Chains A and B, each alone.
Chain A
Amino acid sequence: MVQSPTINRVMADERAASFTKRSIKTKAKDAGLRLALSMVDLTTLEGKDSPEKVRSLCAKARRPMPDDERVLGERLPHVAAVCVYPAMVPVAAEALEGSGIHVASVATGFPSGQYPLDVRLRDAERAIADGADEIDMVINRGAFLSGRYDAVGEEIASVADVCAAGGPGGRGVHLKVILETGELETYDNVRRASDIAIEHIRDGDFIKTSTGKVSPAATMGVTLVMLEAIRDAWLGSGKRIGMKPAGGIRTAKQSLHYLAMVKETLGDAWLTPELFRFGASSLVDDLLRQIVKRKTGRYAARYDFGVA
């Protein structure tokens, strides 16, 4: 089993807070806002989600700001992925066809994971068959909190195998392992769960903080602990694991602080949608507001951007 270091919460939080003191202005801000936009997993995970809502989301994912060329004189990047429930995967896959935007599906009994393993695996298989090329799985927190770490690892490995088998037509599928850090509570647990997940997933897969259904969701401190686990895996074995904080990141300023933390913890190599994502929905509009403000000097109103 993995031996994980303990985490001193006070000092970890202090370090995480230090990134909020980084001053990101002018050119760095321009580049950071666009980078953050390209890293968003635009998400809707509600019981009332409809095909029409998912289509709106996909349209926004492709062109976050359709009049960007007129207003800004440039074409903004599309987001990294659209993240939906399995039932909405066919709709998203069709709407995103040919766009290069990934179709991410939560699966494996999201958000609780309180289902038998065979049902959870079938959930992931079905989402992949329907067109998902990213699976956001949840770990078995019951097993983790009762100390059955091996069981947690084996379940992650099973889902990783499903993803490794790929989708129709040999389409590659990446896995994101949601730790649901709000339920793990301690940073020691977060670090241990990160290490277990990293051990069982492949190069290019992700670890992710939260489902968004539990409070607290992503925090700077939790994300730092997970980034350090990723760093140690990289330095130790050369495995390159991505990171996705999800839930609670709503402002452009927050996203820039996260980017500063990634940059100063993992270095420049991780400043790419291949290795860092934001699980968010309202973040996109604030990024657009800031981008427009930088260009025109004026803040856009909420209604200036299409809802998704």
Chain B
Amino acid sequence: MTTFQEQDATHTNGTSAVGPGRSPALEFASAWDYAPTPESAKVEIADRYGHYINGAFVESISGDVFETINPATVETLSVVARGTAEDVDAAVKAARQAQPRWAALPAKERGKYLFRIARRLQERAREFAVLETMDNGKPIKETRDVDIPLAAAHFFYHAGWADKLAYAFGGANPEPVGVCGQIIPWNFPLLMAAWKLAPALACGNTCVLKPAETTPLTALRLAEVFDEIGLPPGVVNIVTGDGEAGAALVEHPGVDKIAFTGSTEVGKKIAAATAGTGKKLTLELGGKSPNIIFEDASIDQAVEGVIAGIYFNQGHVCCAGSRLFVQESIADAVVARIENRLKSLRLGDPLDKNTDIGAINSAQQLGTITRYLDSARDEGLTRHEPNGCALPDKGYWCRPCFFTGVQPSHTIAREEIFGPVLAVQTFRTPEEAITRANNTPYGLAAGVWTDKGSKIFEIAGRLKAGVVWLNCYNRFDPASPFGGYKESGFGREGGLQGLRGYVRL
């Protein structure tokens, strides 16, 4: 491998203590390997699921269905109703009918329902984690330690807001918006449902939720929780399906607000469709978030942040730190560490408790990632794929990788890949780092790594991103608002700011 400093003939101080290829290596190939430890909890999955409308599971009016599969095995998990405009209409009507009574409940009673949902999610956490892993392909350690606990935390947090809204907006009296249409993606299926539903319900709205086509199962199981805790019928309605159901929800005149998390492409269509209709809109869209490592950073911990930033959830993260900017003087040291760290990642059965990298969610997404890998190859970039795990025979898999030699104009430095693919670039001065980091149509998140406090605040203040993580990455808390600049969307989710999207003042 050519080192960064060898690429620059004018740089004379080019000896790196840990430059790859000139030193002893680390071997992870394993005399002592971890034995398989598949999660043993068995989860009942029905052969068939309908929409959840007005407190009951109902078939699609058209009778249409689609299959949802386990992307790690390509086995069909269940058959789910395919929603059309008629189903959406029924769901919106149910939500409309339920809304006045829900909003008229004493606020602390609404809070109690949310507390019950949160507690029940905790009690059934293992079941939800296994189901999410099967439907999505992400590792069980992530669903167990991140997705499900955070989903419960969002319900807990917003349960607390329900009876304090009068104090949230400086004396203004918040009113519910009405019926909220909420369209969520497949990368964090249950967590995104929680992000959407919890604040809406706390503020007295009723909801029609459209889960992603490839991952409807945990939202439908959440509907079972609603039944268990006695949530009034119609307060939350779930219509499963593809883009057709989503479009019908966006266009339905009975919807007062649309909240969408997904691609920028679809987000733009939704913005166009809702323009001039009076519908409130929040969009949480794509990203191409930078991680910036300065030479005075704690390097090993910065590398951990980079690994977590781009390889967590197979890179299916809207705020994934997909662009890495490293100060040139430490570029070789950082790249060598990323190489070694990638070698130690375990790719395979998502239900195995030691799996770090699971399956790609769908054949379609794998195709998208593969096209980007091809484009990078065609543009002459160097691909590093040090992880030696064998890819399983069945299912959709992508070995985690990174590219060096990347310039800001290269496709993989500009477009969102939504996969385990990192583009490594270098810089020499802070000004150059800021310019390059902001040189994107997106602005969702950023990471800054330096041990110098004054630099942290100077750089963070100049990055155009909704969230800037300092010496950490991918930190989430329900109390902290999340959202984007530019083509990453508008509106915030979480925290006091997140409530704004669900009230009229």
Query: 18 extra interchain contacts, Cβ-Cβ under 8 A, other than A28-B33, A264-B344?
Result: A5-B300, A6-B298, A7-B300, A11-B298, A11-B304, A21-B141, A23-B37, A24-B34, A27-B35, A28-B32, A235-B23, A235-B336, A236-B18, A259-B32, A263-B30, A264-B28, A266-B26, A268-B31
Judging by beta carbons under 8 Å apart, are A10 and B471 in contact? yes
Judging by beta carbons under 8 Å apart, are B451 and A6 in contact? yes
**Bound CA span A235–B29, Å:** 17
Total contacts A-B at CB 8 Å: 100
CB within 8 A of A25: which of B18, B37, B305, B472?
Answer: B37
Judging by beta carbons under 8 Å apart, are A31 and B32 in contact? yes
> Nearest Cβ distance between residue B293 and chain A, in whole angstroms?
12
Sort A-B residue pairs by CB-CB distance and give the 6 closest, nearest first: A11-B301, A8-B301, A8-B298, A23-B353, A267-B26, A23-B37
**Bound CA span A25–B353, Å:** 11
- Does B354 reach chain A (CB closer than 8 Å)? yes
5 contacts between A and B (CB under 8 A): A8-B301, A10-B471, A12-B300, A15-B304, A28-B35
**Bound CA span A31–B35, Å:** 10
Residues A6 and B296 in contact in the complex (CB < 8 Å), given A11-B301, A232-B17: yes
- Does B8 reach chain A (CB closer than 8 Å)? no
| CB proximity to B under 8 Å, residues A257-281 | 259-260, 263-264, 266-269, 271
- Does A231 reach chain B (CB closer than 8 Å)? yes
- Does A152 reach chain B (CB closer than 8 Å)? no
Q: Is the interface of B mostly helix, strand, loop or mixed?
A: loop
- Does A67 reach chain B (CB closer than 8 Å)? no
A27 neighbours in B (Cβ, 8 Å): 35
A259 neighbours in B (Cβ, 8 Å): 32
Judging by beta carbons under 8 Å apart, are A235 and B300 in contact? no
**Bound CA span A127–B365, Å:** 66
A235 neighbours in B (Cβ, 8 Å): 17-18, 23-26, 336
| CB proximity to B under 8 Å, residues A207-239 | 228, 231-232, 234-238
- Does A97 reach chain B (CB closer than 8 Å)? no
Chain B residue at smallest Cβ distance from A26:
B35
Contact flags A20-42 to B (C-beta < 8 A → 1, else 0) = 01111111110110010000000
Number of interface residues of A (CB under 8 A): 38
> Nearest Cβ distance between residue B390 and chain A, in whole angstroms?
18
- Does A14 reach chain B (CB closer than 8 Å)? yes
| CB proximity to A under 8 Å, residues B11-31 | 17-18, 23-31
Contact flags A84-100 to B (C-beta < 8 A → 1, else 0) = 00000000000000000
Judging by beta carbons under 8 Å apart, are B31 and A28 in contact? no
CB within 8 A of B145: which of A11, A21, A228, A271?
Answer: A21
Q: Is the interface of A mostly helix, strand, loop or mixed?
A: helix
**Bound CA span A231–B31, Å:** 18
Judging by beta carbons under 8 Å apart, are A268 and B29 in contact? yes
Residues A228 and B35 in contact in the complex (CB < 8 Å), given A22-B354, A267-B26, A269-B27: no
Judging by beta carbons under 8 Å apart, are A238 and B354 in contact? no
> Nearest Cβ distance between residue A191 and chain B, in whole angstroms?
9
Judging by beta carbons under 8 Å apart, are B26 and A12 in contact? no
Chain B residue at smallest Cβ distance from A15:
B304
**Bound CA span A29–B34, Å:** 8
Judging by beta carbons under 8 Å apart, are B27 and A267 in contact? yes
**Bound CA span A50–B37, Å:** 46
- Does B225 reach chain A (CB closer than 8 Å)? no
**Bound CA span A263–B353, Å:** 17
A24 neighbours in B (Cβ, 8 Å): 34-35, 37
A21 neighbours in B (Cβ, 8 Å): 141, 145, 353
**Bound CA span A24–B31, Å:** 14
A22 neighbours in B (Cβ, 8 Å): 34, 353-354
B17 neighbours in A (Cβ, 8 Å): 232, 235-236
CB within 8 A of B304: which of A14, A25, A231, A269?
Answer: A14
Contact flags B300-319 to A (C-beta < 8 A → 1, else 0) = 11101100000000000000
**Bound CA span A27–B18, Å:** 35
Judging by beta carbons under 8 Å apart, are B296 and A263 in contact? no
A15 neighbours in B (Cβ, 8 Å): 300-301, 304
**Bound CA span A234–B302, Å:** 21
Judging by beta carbons under 8 Å apart, are A32 and B344 in contact? no
Max chain B C-beta neighbours (<10 A), residue from A35, A231, A263, A267: A267
- Does B479 reach chain A (CB closer than 8 Å)? no
**Bound CA span A269–B32, Å:** 10
> Nearest Cβ distance between residue A263 and chain B, in whole angstroms?
6
Judging by beta carbons under 8 Å apart, are A29 and B35 in contact? yes
B297 neighbours in A (Cβ, 8 Å): 6, 8
